[in-house]
Amino acid sequence: MPQFTRKSQFSWALYDWANSAFATTVIAGFFPLFFKQYWSEGVESTTSTFWLGFGNSAASFLILILAPILGAIADSSGSHKRLLAFFAGLGIIATAGFFMIAQGEWPWAISLYVVAIIGFSGANVFYDALLPSLTTHDDLHRLSALGFSMGYLGGGLLFLVNVLMTLNPHWFGLADATAAVRVSFLSVAIWWFVFSLPIMMGVRSQAPKSPGKIRLSNEFAKLCNTLKAIRENENLWLFLIAYWFYIDGVATIIRMAVDYGMAIGLPSDSLIVALLLVQFIGFPATLVFGRIGQRYGAKRGLWIGLWAYVIATVCASFMSDVTQFYALAVVLGLVQGGVQSLSRSLFCQLIPPEKSGEYLGFLNMLGKAAAVLGPLLVGVVAATTDNSRLGLLSILILFLAGMWFLTKVKEPANTLSSQS
| Domain residue ranges in the chain | 6-201+215-419
Distance CA 342, CA 371 (A): 19
Mean predicted confidence (pLDDT) in 392-412: 90
To the nearest whole percent, how much of the chain has pLDDT over 90?
33
What is the predicted pLDDT for the residue at 3? 55
To the nearest whole percent, how much of the chain has pLDDT over 70?
83
Per mean pLDDT, which of 230-234, 275-279, 352-356, 368-372 is the most reliable? Answer: 275-279
CB atoms within 10 A of CB 276: 19
What is the predicted pLDDT for the residue at 1? 44
CA–CA distance from 226 to each of 44, 147, 343 (Å)?
A: 46, 27, 20
Residue 6: phi and psi, rounded to 5, are -60, -35
Provide the CATH topology of domain 6-201+215-419.
Growth Hormone; Chain: A; (1.20.1250)
Distance CA 393, CA 377 (A): 10
Of 15, 326, 53, 28, which is closest to residue 184 (Cα–Cα)? 28
Confidence of residue 407 (pLDDT cuts 50, 70, 90): very high
Of 138, 415, 416, 145, which is closest to residue 290 (Cα–Cα)? 145
**At residue 90, does pLDDT exceed 90?**
yes
**At residue 246, does pLDDT exceed 70?**
yes
Confidence of residue 51 (pLDDT cuts 50, 70, 90): confident
Model confidence pTM above 0.85: no
Q: What is the pLDDT of residues 95-148, one digit of tens each?
A: 999 999 999 888 999 999 999 989 998 898 888 888 888 888 778 888 888 998
Of 74, 141, 227, which is closest to residue 414 (Cα–Cα)? 141
316-333 burial code (b ≥16 CB/10 A, e <16): bbebeebeebebbbebbb
The helix (run of H) or strand (run of E) holding residue 121 is helix 106-129
Residue type, 74: A
What is the predicted pLDDT for the residue at 420? 45
Q: What is the pLDDT of residues 24-49, one digit of tens each?
A: 888 877 887 788 778 988 777 667 76
